[in-house]
Structure 1
Amino acid sequence: MQKELLLKLRNGDKLTLKDSIKLTIQISLPAIMSQISTIIMEYADASMVGRLGAHDSASIGLVSSSTWLIGGLLNAASLGFSVQLAHRIGAKDNKEARNIMKIGLLSTMLFSIVMLLIAISIAKWLPSWLGGNKAIIDHASLYFLIFACQLPFQQLNNVAGGMLQASGNMKTPSLLNILMCLLNIFFNLLLIFPSGTVGSLPGWNLGVAGAALGTALSQAIISLIMLYWLLRRSDLLKLRKGEKMHFSKGYFISAFRIALPVALEQIAQDGAQIVSTRIVAPLGTKAIAANSFSVTAESLCYMPGYGIGVAATTMIGQSIGAKREDLTYRLGWLVTILGMAVMSITGILMYIFAPFMLATLTPHPSIQMLGVRVLRIEAFAEPLFAASIVATGVLRGTGDTMIPSLFNLVSMWLVRLPLATLLSPKIGLVGVWSAMAIELSVRGILFLWRLSKRNWSTKEVIIAHS
């Protein structure tokens, strides 16, 4: 059914409102499952490390904002090519889509090697720069170093999965990411704890390093399978004999135009997270640990929104390529409303089950109590947070990455950080998360205002980014 609806979209056939809703749900569900599986993997990491003690948990929490920054830059590089690929598929130019795929794979892998070298070079000093105390610096540095070594595999997973999704295949990347989650849990049990912790399973007792290695190994295995599926099994994108890669300056210019605002957004947004980490660090080890655990717990709530946002980029990108301006506007609003509905439900569930979520992550009552308080504050911001997440995916599908980047930059640096700086000395971590909830609400309102201006789906936007 999904393939038939996408084919109707590309061919210019009429899609009823019912068809549009079906397409939105069918593409979104696998993407939601994929994002949830990713968070379950992080949740498993945090839960297992949480059993080792507050210091080990804090060591990972200290560098987590830096790992997000690097991961975001890798994702921006992938997006620069996957959006163009979606446009080509929407225009039924599959041969050129495969050429973009080859150029994108080569370019993004070279970029990941550059990021690997940079990350390795700063691993020793990063925890100190972030304000970590002596008790957690060594473990934080080791965790970041291992993270750095797996960056090419993370990039490969990003770009191969992103291109499969851009072609309309949401199912395969989702299933592979779920498998990666299961592999990560297995490797964690094997590497983090000593032998005999789980039945007769042998253990290497590597602690924090084991958590990083478990993620790296599962990422490596799945990224190679993802690449195989892209090059050998994809109906639209698998390699064909006689098709040689040819470079075009226009593709690199378009990729740069799409990726640069996203990269700057990640630098600004995750840079703000790093500054936020600096704000939290003086509050003590328990606050750092509670902040880290709460971020992980909240991810279960907002990752469905990111899944829907990924689906939005695919649908809108193919609509743009097929020159379906009427459908572009309708699908943009449908997918945004779906995201807000889903995250309203997950926000309610997060408020109710916050004590259980924190209890599964850490055995320390004081950390649990603080985490529950901040999660329940954040729950009220989830619907508008969803609007910003999904609308970002909608606008990226058109090739418009500048507006989302500006909105995110303004809200993070002019709303969240000043408020967090003002409130944290007075009410601690609760102040930091109150600032976050206010900022996410402001951001959501900005994106809904942008969607209400129909010119984001006009031909001028299409021409500018095609």
Structure 2
Amino acid sequence: MDEHAPPAGPGRDTPELASELLDLRDKPLEPLAPSPQALGVWELAWPTIAASTTQTLVRWADLKMVGDLGVEAVAGVSAGGLVYWLLQSTVMAVTTGLVALIARAVGARDERLADATLKQSIVLGTLFGLGTLVALLPFTDALIAIYGVEPLVVSYGSEYLVFLLLGNVPFTLTFVFGTALRAAGDARTPLWIGVIANVLNVFLNWVLIYGHLGAPALGVAGAGLASSLAMLFQVLVFWPLWQTRRTILRPTQASFRPDTRLWRRIMHIGYPAALEGVLFHLGLFAFMRIITIYGTAAFTAYQVGAQILALSFLPGLGFSSAAATLVGQHLGNGQAQLAVRAGWRSTLGAIATMSGLGAAIIALAEPIARWFIDDAEVVPLIVDFIWIMGAVQPLMAIEFALGGALRGAGDTRFPLLTIFIGLFVCRLAPASVAALIYGASIQVVWSCLILDYLIKAILLVARFQRGRWKQIEV
């Protein structure tokens, strides 16, 4: 970031900043960050992949340590995590708008607007975090019971969810800071902060789940508390780095005072992404209800299998983030053709890496599954699930990369439509018929995932190819 960029004029209020989004290309300011041309897809993708990998290894550690408490404990932690991520879908309303606005502002070299967007996102994220905490903390038992699992699983899941919710505000702020820095072109700072936090998380798991070093043995509650403390640690690192101007996004005179005009811009872009997240998790909930018909073993197998395959999903997250950043910055810089190229390059990179990792996990499916949970009924089901999901890795890669590219351009409504068609029409409908009418095996139900991801991939390729997203104003 260039410290010699001209400051904003005196006496301007933060609300005025939002209107600048309509005229970003004409501002002759120095770059805030490396130009989009200087940022390669892999350069932006690998730190996000690395950070997500360490986070997945933490979840593996959670499941491995909790697995010592039994299948019901694993199912409870999995159910608690599903509920928590459904709640966090609302935060996407802030972070998706944040990506599009900051990427455009950085591409147009408007430092003050980028800072104002970050500050208003911090305010919004805090309100979202507090709101969900206060509203849902009294109802954790009921939220887990909705899945139709047995009472012991409900008890474990509720314990875990309570302690996750206590870290809700640190989670949203960590998400906001990390997303903002990646949108500005700095994926490395969130990486090293996240790696340290994840190591801390695993250590705290060991201490709090088992009761080492004089701590009480909290079991599944200890896993939730460890996650919340790790999130708090990240906020305590991000904040002083930002305030002392050691990050690519630096504080200006923009205010934290609520700016409803900028809020509306953030939410206008972000609310379809939030709806997409909520819709996805509601659909996932319905899919889980179908799976619970087949018992706790099938439910646990799905959750453990998904966590194992998360290792192959991670490149998708990295390339999605890279595509969103590059597409947004190129459009902000008036270079639509380079935005198109960045989207396709991100897609090819995601397909290659996700397919390779998926194939490796398929080859090692049984020993990996047995490492997590050595249960004669659950392990074969995990292996079956990994084979089915491994087959759709190229299709998932397309959804990750092109979905990220469209969101980076501000086209957040079309990915919402694809989620509805893929998940509800192509996955849930046939899975319901297979399970409830024909009494098909759990493997047939899981195979409905293939149709879901195939249709979404086709729709996203067609949308990106048409190029209407290039004309969207943010």
Is the contact made by 2:31 and 2:109 (CA closer than 8 Å) also made in structure 1? no
Is the contact made by 2:181 and 2:248 (CA closer than 8 Å) also made in structure 1? no
**Distance (Å, rounded) in 1 between the aligned partners of 2:255 and 2:77:** 44
**TM-score, length of structure 2 as denominator length:** 0.89
Counterpart secondary structure, 1:124: helix
2:426 aligned with 1:409, yes or no?
no
Shift of 1:50: 1.1
Shift of 1:89: 0.9
**Distance (Å, rounded) in 1 between the aligned partners of 2:234 and 2:258:** 28
Is the contact made by 1:157 and 1:227 (CA closer than 8 Å) also made in structure 2? no
- Segments of structure 1 that go 5 or more residues without pairing to the other structure are 10-14, 196-200
Q: Which residue of 2 aligns with 1:267?
A: 278
1:354/1:5 Cα in 2 relative to 1: closer, same or farther (>3 Å)?
farther
Matches within 5 A, 1:204-223: 204-223=216-235
Q: Which residue of 1 aligns with 2:10?
A: none
Q: Which residue of 2 aligns with 1:333?
A: 344
Higher helix proportion (structure 1 or 2): 1
2:442 aligned with 1:429, yes or no?
yes
Deviation per CA, 1:170-194: give whole Å up to 9, x if none. 0010111112221111011111114
Is the contact made by 2:49 and 2:314 (CA closer than 8 Å) also made in structure 1? yes
Q: 1:279 aligns with which of 270, 290, 304?
A: 290
Structure 1 range deviating more: 357-366 or 388-397: 357-366
Is the contact made by 1:51 and 1:363 (CA closer than 8 Å) also made in structure 2? no
Matches within 5 A, 1:83-122: 83-122=100-139
Q: Which residue of 2 aligns with 1:351?
A: 362
2:232 aligned with 1:227, yes or no?
no
Q: Which residue of 2 aligns with 1:371?
A: 382
Deviation per CA, 1:364-383: give whole Å up to 9, x if none. 13211110111111111000
- Segments of structure 2 that go 5 or more residues without pairing to the other structure are 1-29
Shift of 1:235: 4.5
**Distance (Å, rounded) in 2 between the aligned partners of 1:68 and 1:414:** 22
Is the contact made by 1:280 and 1:429 (CA closer than 8 Å) also made in structure 2? yes
**Distance (Å, rounded) in 1 between the aligned partners of 2:456 and 2:336:** 26
Counterpart secondary structure, 1:132: coil
**Distance (Å, rounded) in 1 between the aligned partners of 2:105 and 2:462:** 29
Matches within 5 A, 1:60-71: 60-71=77-88
Q: Which residue of 2 aligns with 1:7?
A: 34
Shift of 1:413: 0.6
Q: Which residue of 2 aligns with 1:153?
A: 170
Q: Which residue of 1 aligns with 2:23?
A: none
1:8/1:85 Cα in 2 relative to 1: closer, same or farther (>3 Å)?
closer
**TM-score, length of structure 1 as denominator length:** 0.90
Shift of 1:298: 1.4
Shift of 1:400: 0.8
**Distance (Å, rounded) in 1 between the aligned partners of 2:175 and 2:88:** 9
Shift of 1:202: 4.9
**Distance (Å, rounded) in 2 between the aligned partners of 1:341 and 1:78:** 27
Shift of 1:300: 1.1
Shift of 1:236: 3.9
Is the contact made by 1:388 and 1:444 (CA closer than 8 Å) also made in structure 2? yes
2:186 aligned with 1:186, yes or no?
no
Q: What is the aligned-residue RMSD (CA, Å)? A: 2.0
Shift of 1:429: 2.8
**Distance (Å, rounded) in 2 between the aligned partners of 1:51 and 1:203:** 18
Q: Which residue of 1 aligns with 2:459?
A: 446
Is the contact made by 2:32 and 2:110 (CA closer than 8 Å) also made in structure 1? no
**Distance (Å, rounded) in 2 between the aligned partners of 1:452 and 1:92:** 28
**Distance (Å, rounded) in 2 between the aligned partners of 1:227 and 1:440:** 39
Q: 1:360 aligns with which of 368, 371, 382?
A: 371
2:181 aligned with 1:164, yes or no?
yes
1:127/1:8 Cα in 2 relative to 1: closer, same or farther (>3 Å)?
closer
**Distance (Å, rounded) in 2 between the aligned partners of 1:247 and 1:51:** 48
Is the contact made by 1:90 and 1:321 (CA closer than 8 Å) also made in structure 2? yes
Matched positions, count: 443
- Percent identity of paired positions between Structure 1 and Structure 2: 25
Shift of 1:4: 9.8
**Distance (Å, rounded) in 2 between the aligned partners of 1:310 and 1:357:** 28
2:429 aligned with 1:418, yes or no?
yes
